[in-house]
Structure 1
Amino acid sequence: MKVIILFITVSFINLAWADSEIETIQLNHRLAVEVLPEIQAFLPEQATARAFNDFIVLKAEPSIIKEIKQLINKLDTPLQRLRISVVMTDERLSDRQTSQIEADILIDNTGPSANVSIQRWSTKNSHNKEQHYQAQGLAGKPILINLSQDIPQQEQYLVLRPDGDLAVQTNTSYLNINSGFQAVARILPNHQATVDIHPVFSHLPSRKGSIDRSQIITSISGPVGTWIELGQIDNEKNIEKQGATSYHSHRQLTQTIYIKVESLN
């Protein structure tokens, strides 16, 4: 009896395996190695899938192949291109006043027409200094925002002249400190942008020639195309020298960092 049951079971498995087909599915927008893990979770035990370049080779029953092809069609979508803008400003963007000029130009006879859109930004503080940065990349992929700073380094040398006198020679070199962060941005169906920030901030310590780095991870979200506050930077003590007297003053300058995500598709 056991032999008969075993024979029936093996025959059923062989019959099911005989119904399997091999299908080669080409991807148009994504790599096969990226899509493969997402479809393997839906494969039955007897089905197999392999990734080769931009192809997925699937061995399964026709009904399973049909379902997996439908799933791949939903996954194999064009990657979204994004532009990330970063601004560092002394003022909060809510304090800004904007004026926008729009004009339509139409020239008869020659035929050309144009649309002109000008947006002017103004701040209440004329001493406000802003730094703007932009980078482009793909949604879900790290986009590097590189913020660089040149630190002047002065060195003095004693030079022995041919007449025997000593002269002081001063050379100024600039030490470049690259700092910034990586932004992994995504745009959700509800037109909200989420950004995972992987920053690497650099600063020059008291020990000359070395750079300390610290890494932080944070996440922010907000509407697409609007400025989202990332954080604030406070400085610093100022020293003014007049003659032999040094005047120390401490004023709090707060720079706010904003980030904006826009779709380029």
Structure 2
Amino acid sequence: MIPRVLLLLSALLPAAALAQVATEVIEPRHRAALELVPLLESVGGPGSVNVYDNKLIVRATPSQLAEMRQLLDQLDRAARQLMISVRQGGVAERRDQGVGFAGVYRRGDGSIVVPGPDGRVPRDVELQAGERQRRDDSGIRQQVRVEEGREARIFLGSSTPHVVRERLPHGAVVQRSEYVDSGSGFTVLPRVQGDRVQLEIQAQQQMPGRGGTVDSRSAGSVVSGPLGEWFEIGGAVQQSSYAGSSLLGRGEGSRSSQNSIQVRVDLLD
């Protein structure tokens, strides 16, 4: 008798569990329903959430529904407005130094003028040494406003005219100018995480090719940094040096350039 009772109870348990599953229709206020499906299915399981007319059709147990509502309270909010600021700075340095003879060399009816390192030509022949340094700073700053979770594109470049010839049906040939964009930039997808922001960056470079075409290259990366503060997302350093000598002197020098890209993300509301 006891085994039959246990068998009957085990058969009734699945039916009781199924009776607890409820269906509820939820209409998101700010976010698209499709965006929320994978997040809610992490609670109710695969197939527990469907979409119809931008409404969520949820089939789950009461405890799962309660957890889903709490999750929606956190996720279904108005998109935050962000201001993305980008600054690109470059520093170029040049140093030249040398030693040699300078002055006016007279020979017969002719003369040879050799200026010194500072560009001055002394009356008499002198042995001079000098050094010159130069530093150039340049920078570009851009800003773009974007909603959180949407891409923004920042591009630096120029438009190059390209002549296009076209033959009309009656045989005449006309030509017109088309402009091809070239330069570099990137698209950025921001996501705020507490007091930090994560940026999905897709760097792009476009160079004019033959026949009005554009050669493009791209590379992706993910970086993060504090909200409201500048942080570096890329850069490059180049250095070179030279040395030479002649009958009248010798010289050496160096060149260096440093470019950096920094970004800052601010909440506007």
TM-score range, shorter chain: 0.5 to 0.7
Aligned to 1:163: none
Aligned to 1:183: 188
The structure that is strand-richer by fraction is 2
Is the 2:26–2:57 Cα contact (8 Å) retained in structure 1?
yes
Q: What is the aligned residue count? A: 202
Aligned to 2:204: 200
Residues 16-42 of structure 1: CA distance to partner in whole angstroms, max 9, x if unpaired?
Answer: 323332222222122221111112122
Aligned to 2:75: 75
Q: TM-score of the superposition, structure 1-length normalised?
A: 0.61
Q: Distance in 1 between matches of 2:157 and 2:24?
A: 51
Percent identity, please. Answer: 24
CA distance change for structure 1 residues 204 and 251 in 2, over 3 Å: closer, same or farther?
farther
Indicate the RMSD between aligned Cα atoms, in angstroms: 3.7
CA distance change for structure 1 residues 227 and 66 in 2, over 3 Å: closer, same or farther?
closer
Q: TM-score of the superposition, structure 2-length normalised?
A: 0.60
**SS in structure 2 opposite 1:16?**
helix
Q: Which runs of 5+ in 1 are unaligned?
A: 93-124, 155-171, 237-249
Whose Rg is larger?
A: 2
CA distance change for structure 1 residues 77 and 5 in 2, over 3 Å: closer, same or farther?
same
Q: Distance in 2 between matches of 1:175 and 1:38?
A: 43
Q: Distance in 1 between matches of 2:30 and 2:22?
A: 25
1:225 matches 2:234: no
Is the 1:30–1:54 Cα contact (8 Å) retained in structure 2?
no
Q: Which runs of structure 1 show a deviation greater than 6 angstroms over 4 or more consecutive aligned residues?
A: 1-6
**TM alignment of 1:1-265, pairs within 5 A:** 8-43=9-44, 48-91=48-91, 128-151=137-160, 175-177=180-182, 179-189=184-194, 191-204=195-208, 207=210, 209-233=212-236, 252-265=256-269
- 1:256 positional shift: 2.2
Q: Distance in 1 between matches of 2:60 and 2:259?
A: 59
The residue identity in structure 1 corresponding to 2:49 is A
CA distance change for structure 1 residues 220 and 56 in 2, over 3 Å: closer, same or farther?
same
Q: Distance in 1 between matches of 2:64 and 2:208?
A: 60
**SS in structure 2 opposite 1:27?**
coil
Q: Distance in 2 between matches of 1:65 and 1:220?
A: 35
Q: Distance in 2 between matches of 1:150 and 1:235?
A: 27
The residue identity in structure 2 corresponding to 1:146 is F
Is the 1:28–1:54 Cα contact (8 Å) retained in structure 2?
no
Q: Which runs of 5+ in 2 are unaligned?
A: 93-133, 164-176, 240-253
Q: Distance in 2 between matches of 1:86 and 1:263?
A: 15
- 1:3 positional shift: 8.6
Q: Distance in 1 between matches of 2:41 and 2:238?
A: 53
> Whose relative contact order is higher, 1 or 2, with alpha carbons under 8 Å and at least 6 apart?
2
Moved more, 251-260 or 35-44: 251-260
- 1:183 positional shift: 0.9
Q: Distance in 2 between matches of 1:6 and 1:49?
A: 33
